[in-house]
Amino acid sequence: MSSPSLSPPRDLRSESTELGDVHIGAAPERGRRRGSLARRAAAVLPGLILPVTILVVWQIASETGRISPILFPSPTTILDAFADLAGAGTLWEHTSTTVMRVVAGLLIGGGLALLFGALVGMLRTAEQVVNPTAQMVRMVPHLAMTSLFVLWFGIGETSKVLLIAKGVFFPIYVATFLGFRDTDAKLIQVARVLEFSRFDIFRKVLIPGSLGHLFYGLRLSVGIAWGAVVVAEMISSSSGLGYLMIDARSFNDTPVVFVGILTFAILGIASDLALRAIERRTLRWSDRRAT
């Protein structure tokens, strides 16, 4: 009678090794993530030292009466005013109005700047005709044009949006013009040898080659747009963050003025961070990326 066949014993040591490999492989991955977070924290923390110190000193000076609470309300008082305005919906209403004006001004001014910048960058004749006038208008102070815009277009939305558009036009125009001119001439020559059409050269060579300049000009324009909308809303408006600040100033409500400043700071930082993230993603292949 033959003995029944027995299955070979399980190689527990081998199985243990395989499981161990999984854990060993996962540990470095977690280590890399922690290292990445640590590096990001190390990069951010030095930039927080100065503002945090200013806020602490400001708060202490306010509580001890070293500074006037009317001129410089404490940070906690400003945060309370921020919370009250946000809870009542007033802050969001004025903020949305301001954001819509900035977006409209960027679309109009940025679109025209791209058009004229591309023409001047591609055509010498356009540069000779357009660029001298554009540079002359660029030197006119922005505030000097405010009264004219109100006279020409009234006190409605048109004058506000066009004032923003005028402010954002020139950084994008100059960046587009320089971006096209700084594109590697060898790439253009290769494209001509390959019998690319002018549109293909524009789309496949000039646009990618000038993206670094374009993003830089756009980031400058966004900063100018936030400043321009403040001026527009303070001069003639019944809504928006600029109006909220000028109205609060007339009633000596300084915390609300600081709430407007804080909101503009948040909007400006958020928009710049968003543009930098888009730039990094778009220009992965290039060394001209946001820093």
Residues 105-116 pLDDT 10s: 999 999 999 999
> What pLDDT, on the 0 to 100 scale, is given for residue 37?
67
Per-residue confidence band for 17, with pLDDT thresholds at 50, 70 and 90: very low
Residue 15: per-residue pLDDT: 44
At 50-69, the pLDDT tens digits run 888 988 998 898 888 888 88
What pLDDT does residue 110 have? 92
**pTM of the full predicted structure?**
0.76
CA 43 to the chain's CA centroid: 19
Write the CB contacts of 101 (distance below 8 Å, at least 6 apart in sequence).
157, 160, 161, 164, 229, 232, 233, 240
Q: Is the pLDDT of residue 5 over 70?
A: no
**Mean pLDDT rounded to a whole number for the chain:** 80
pLDDT for residue 121 is more than 70: yes
CATH class of 75-282: mainly alpha
Dihedral sign computed on CA atoms, order 20, 21, 26, 29: positive
